[in-house]
Structure 1
Amino acid sequence: MGTRNFDVKKLLNDRKFWFASFLIAWAAALQGHMMWLQRQDTFKQKFGTLDDQNTDNQQDSNEGL
């Protein structure tokens, strides 16, 4: 097997390297954000929101009148 010389300076000056790094970081951040949104939706489905609880309380108090 031949050895390849790895030139770090050349790699750091390459625009393709920085574009690919940015694209990977952006995709990872987007995936993390989508997972966070999914967790928020699951929590809302399981426990509801304060707005839902307030409307339920208002309906209960209006029925008592």
Structure 2
Amino acid sequence: MASFDLKTIVKDKRFWAASFLIAWAAGLQGHMMWLQRQDSFKQKFGTIDEENQK
């Protein structure tokens, strides 16, 4: 098993780019799940605008 030096990993730009990409993708996935939950709530209960038009 190859030993690794933590200081070189922290200084590596590829490590930070990959970390940023993973965090961005996780945030995007969470946001999309939140939007889907909002849409299903609107389908189930409707919106205030729809109730005013009835």
Which one has the largest radius of gyration?
A: 1
The structure with higher relative contact order (CA 8 Å, sep 6+) is 2
Structure 1: gaps (5+ residues): 57-65
- For these two proteins, the number of residue pairs brought into alignment is 54
Dislocated runs of 4+, deviation >4 Å: none
CA RMSD of aligned residues (A): 0.7
Identity over aligned pairs, percent? 67
Structure 2: gaps (5+ residues): none
Query: Normalization by structure 1: what TM-score?
Result: 0.79
Query: Normalization by structure 2: what TM-score?
Result: 0.95
